[in-house]
Amino acid sequence: MSVRSIVILEDEAPARQRLEAALRRVAPGAEVVAAHASVAQAVAWFAAHPAPDLVLADIQLSDGLSFEVFADGVPAPIVFCTAYDEYVVEAIASGGIDYLLKPIKDDALARALANYQRLEAHFAERVQRVAAQLQAPRRILARSRDGFVAIAVDQIAYFTLDDKQSEVVTRDAQRYAVDQTLGELEAMLDGRAFFRVNRQYLVAAAAVTGFRSFFKGKLLVDLSPPAQGDVVVSQENAARFRAWLTG
């Protein structure tokens, strides 16, 4: 992930040109979509255009302080770029994610952009998790001798692979065949509720009654209803399994 669109607020042309040159060096894929020298120009632009990924804002503009631009809401994450160090508290209150003192060095600008990228990655991951939860099915269609049954997801203990056939085991120990592979089921279901412990088991957190150390750093998992055979988490997945179960 990277910064794609940037708005610059800077009333001194040489300072703006130096900042744009620094951006070309440290973020060649970013585009400066607008540059404004005054509060009035910036307010009008933000009212008429989609928000950029990032704003690089000097504090003292030609007609006032750039904080006035953000008084009614922050259009995007802001990195304040200024020659003065007395505005730090106001900058943070205005939505600033970084505060750079002029003259701005390339490494300082690069660190500020990295801060933005970490924020973007964090919130993108949260949005993806919420989207996955909203899209996760509430029922799974399974096959029985008489046709098909719809099983509520909260009644599923685990999925298992038996001689290349995927099966669902319910919390009351009923077993049914399902048409999807374990990989397809893993992609469909909420990752907070189900965990792929190995190639043969996709388990619900509610079905895990405990686990214990196994040889070579592996874990042996106890399920309810009991599985037909050992349910083993590899050493590579052991830490992730523990975090999932406690999270």
Model confidence pLDDT, tens digit, residues 162-176:
888 999 999 999 999
Q: Which of 208, 225, 218 is nearest to 167 (CA)?
A: 225
Q: Is 65 exposed, middle or buried (0-12, 13-18, 19+ CB in 10 A)?
A: middle
Rounded CA-CA distance 124/107 in Å is 25
Mean pLDDT, rounded, for 137-159: 92
- Which of 117, 134, 151 is the last residue before a domain boundary? 134
Q: Which pLDDT score is estimated for 116?
A: 87
Rounded CA-CA distance 204/113 in Å is 39
Q: Which pLDDT score is estimated for 19?
A: 95
Query: 28 with 10, same domain?
Result: yes
Q: Please, what is the average pLDDT of the chain?
A: 90
Would you place residue 194 in the very low, low, confident or very high pLDDT band (cuts 50, 70, 90)? very high
pTM: 0.52
Query: 126 with 171, same domain?
Result: no
For 20, the domain range is 5-134
Query: 11 with 126, same domain?
Result: yes
Query: 117 with 186, same domain?
Result: no
Q: Which pLDDT score is estimated for 118?
A: 83
Structural domain count of the chain: 2
